[in-house]
Amino acid sequence: MGTQSVRGDVPAAPVRAARQDGLEQDGPEPLPRRHVVFAVVALALFMASIDQTIVATALNAIQTDLGAELTWSGWTITVYSLGQLIAMPMAGKLGDHLGRKRVFLVGIGVFTVASLACGFANNIYVLVALRALQAIGGGAFLPSATGIVAEHFGRHRDRAVGMFTSIFPIGGIVGPILGGVIVNYFGWRTIFLVNVPIGILLLVLSAKLIAESPRKPAERIDFGGLALLATLMLATMYGLTNLGRGVTSPWFLVPELCAVAAAVFFVRHTMRHRAPFIPLAFLAGRGFGAMNVLNLLFGGAAIGFAALVPLYAEERFHLDPLAAGTLLTARAIGMICVAALAVLTLRRLGHRLPMLIGFGILIVGLFLMAVPPPGMSGYLWLSIAAGITGVGMGMSVPASNNAGLQLAPDQIASIAGLRGMFRQSGAIIAISVTTAVMANSTNPAMAQAHSFVVLAVLLVAAVPLIWTIPDHRGSW
């Protein structure tokens, strides 16, 4: 009777309206053990995100133990970011076509073996090469894990994905704190070796618990497009990281010229290839072009911001390193407190309103970072500003993640990989340009304050793009 009335007696429009409001939801049924699977893939993502920043606290120890130059020690961080830039879109594409579980397991295996080898590296050059391999494994986690979560939660995937993808920034915040403890008590090699038992546990649990994902019809992978994209990203980011070190030689232009040439050939190749590695629609199509620009700027303002705040606190307000590091905890608290609420309201509010509010709050936090504290200590003022940026992130991240994924729900892993690539690129650009400006400034602290204002202004200019993204209420 009830089924009959829904199909025939009750008009279709009210049923669709109810579903759009989140009162009744279409979609596949959630799979058993989905919450355990969520915990497993979340642990993998958390481990990969921690390793992006945990090494920062060990640079001096690595430099001393291996007899390395500081620039080469710094490459243990840089190469991890560059490796993830390439791995994310590659893993996303392969996950959609070869199966997300398979790509996820391979990523865990590569990450675990590379971590073990890093722990026994006997010179800096080997360590940098192994960090690149570790980044490829870690970069495979985000896109494939996003697809796995979406598949296991069925019609509730919008909420699960919104909460799941908020883990990555938190891991980046915890990394330096955890790294400081490990280096002080156990040595820098333990930073890598601690990943080995966790990786083995994740391999066993993932193989047993994660359901096989459906694969798309087999097609030839566009290795030419992949090679051109890798050349484009590596050349661009290599040039920018050199700029961040204050390199002013004309040779700086060589990698950027290579990047321009790779970009031209990549676009031509993509337009002509029958099944390109990244379709042009995903780069500049309706909704995608705006989301890519927003993700690039968000990466600079949110991820890059996290790397710059402790240095800013030490330079301008003369805080000690421990106090400067705890400012990121204030941001994490603000983000965690808001993210869960933002996820629960997504179906009723849609994507645009939370993104507008979140970006607005993030902009305010960036501006507050740059201005002098009004009658209070620098630490308290920076804590308030950092907490405000965390609230903005907590509001905007779940909405922006879902806004991109619902544009092509059948290619979730590919979209997640592309999103990660643009956000990581934004972070590297923001850090490199800011540090280059600081290196050539007579007042580095104020130069960094001005960089926060510039990031805020860029976000203000990008806000109109949010209105071009298709709004969506209900599940997807």
Measured in whole angstroms, the distance separating CA 24 from the mean position of its chain's CA atoms is 32
Task: Please tell me whether residues 43 and 121 are part of one structural domain.
Answer: yes
Q: Based on the number of CB atoms within 10 Å of its own CB, is 390 exposed (0-12), middle (13-18) or buried (19 or more)?
A: buried
State the maximum Cα–Cα separation within the chain, in Å, rounded to a whole number: 79
145 located within any domain: yes
**Residues 6 or more apart whose Cβ sits within 8 Å of residue 411:** 96
Distance CA 45, CA 362 (A): 24
Task: Please tell me whether residues 313 and 455 are part of one structural domain.
Answer: yes
pLDDT tens by residue, the chain, 476 residues: 444 333 333 333 333 343 444 444 556 677 778 888 888 888 888 888 787 777 766 777 787 888 877 667 767 877 887 788 778 888 877 877 778 888 889 999 999 999 999 999 888 889 989 998 998 888 888 788 888 888 888 777 777 777 766 666 666 667 767 777 787 788 888 888 989 999 999 999 988 888 777 666 655 677 788 788 888 877 877 777 666 555 555 666 777 788 889 888 888 888 888 778 777 888 877 788 888 899 898 888 877 766 678 778 878 888 876 677 677 777 777 777 787 777 777 777 778 888 899 999 999 999 998 888 888 888 899 989 988 988 888 888 888 887 877 777 777 777 877 888 888 888 878 877 887 777 777 888 888 888 889 989 999 998 899 988 887 676 65
Q: What's the pLDDT at 9?
A: 36
Distance CA 213, CA 65 (A): 45
Task: Please tell me whether residues 90 and 210 are part of one structural domain.
Answer: yes
Length of the chain: 476
Amino acid letter, residue 221 = I
For residue 443, the SS3 value is coil
398 located within any domain: yes
What sign results for the dihedral spanned by CA atoms 84, 90, 93, 96? negative
Q: Which of 71, 48, 41, 44 is nearest to 192 (CA)?
A: 48
Q: Which of 173, 158, 166, 175 is nearest to 394 (CA)?
A: 166
Helix (H) or strand (E) holding 351: none
Q: Phi, psi (5° rounding) for residue 139?
A: -65, -20
Q: What's the pLDDT at 248?
A: 54
What sign results for the dihedral spanned by CA atoms 445, 446, 448, 449? positive
Task: Please tell me whether residues 328 and 423 are part of one structural domain.
Answer: yes
5 located within any domain: no
Residue with tokens 């949010």: 466
Task: Please tell me whether residues 302 and 403 are part of one structural domain.
Answer: yes
User: Model pTM?
Assistant: 0.74
329 located within any domain: yes
102 located within any domain: yes
Contact (CB, 8 A) for 158 and 30: no
What string of DSSP letters covers 244-278? HTT--SGGGHHHHHHHHHHHHHHHHHHHH-SS-SS
Token pair listed for 415: 């979209």
H helices present in 350-377, as ranges? 352-370
CA dihedral 251, 252, 258, 264 (to 10 degrees): -130
166 located within any domain: yes
255 located within any domain: no
Amino acid letter, residue 163 = M
Task: Please tell me whether residues 444 and 365 are part of one structural domain.
Answer: yes
Task: Please tell me whether residues 346 and 210 are part of one structural domain.
Answer: no
For residue 210, the SS3 value is coil
- Domain end point (choices 220, 243, 258): 220
Helix (H) or strand (E) holding 372: none
- Domain end point (choices 220, 242, 258): 220
- Domain end point (choices 220, 244, 263): 220
CA dihedral 12, 18, 19, 20 (to 10 degrees): 110
How far the first Cα of the chain sits from its last, in Å, is 28
Task: Please tell me whether residues 168 and 296 are part of one structural domain.
Answer: no
- The number of C-alpha atoms within 13 Å of 8 and in the hemisphere containing its C-beta is 4
Q: What's the pLDDT at 156?
A: 76
Q: Which of 281, 280, 236, 239 is nearest to 261 (CA)?
A: 236
Distance CA 144, CA 167 (A): 15
Which of 79-116 are b and which e, b meaning 16 or more Cβ less than 10 Å from the residue's Cβ?
Answer: bbbbbbbbbbbbbbbbbbbbbbbbbbbbbbbbbbbbbb
The CATH number that applies at residue 181 is: 1.20.1250.20
How many folded domains does the chain comprise? 2
Distance CA 294, CA 465 (A): 8
Task: Please tell me whether residues 335 and 197 are part of one structural domain.
Answer: no
452 located within any domain: yes
Q: Which domain holds residue 59?
A: 28-220
Task: Please tell me whether residues 200 and 291 are part of one structural domain.
Answer: no
Q: What's the pLDDT at 80?
A: 83
Contact (CB, 8 A) for 446 and 267: no
Task: Please tell me whether residues 319 and 447 are part of one structural domain.
Answer: yes
Task: Please tell me whether residues 144 and 37 are part of one structural domain.
Answer: yes
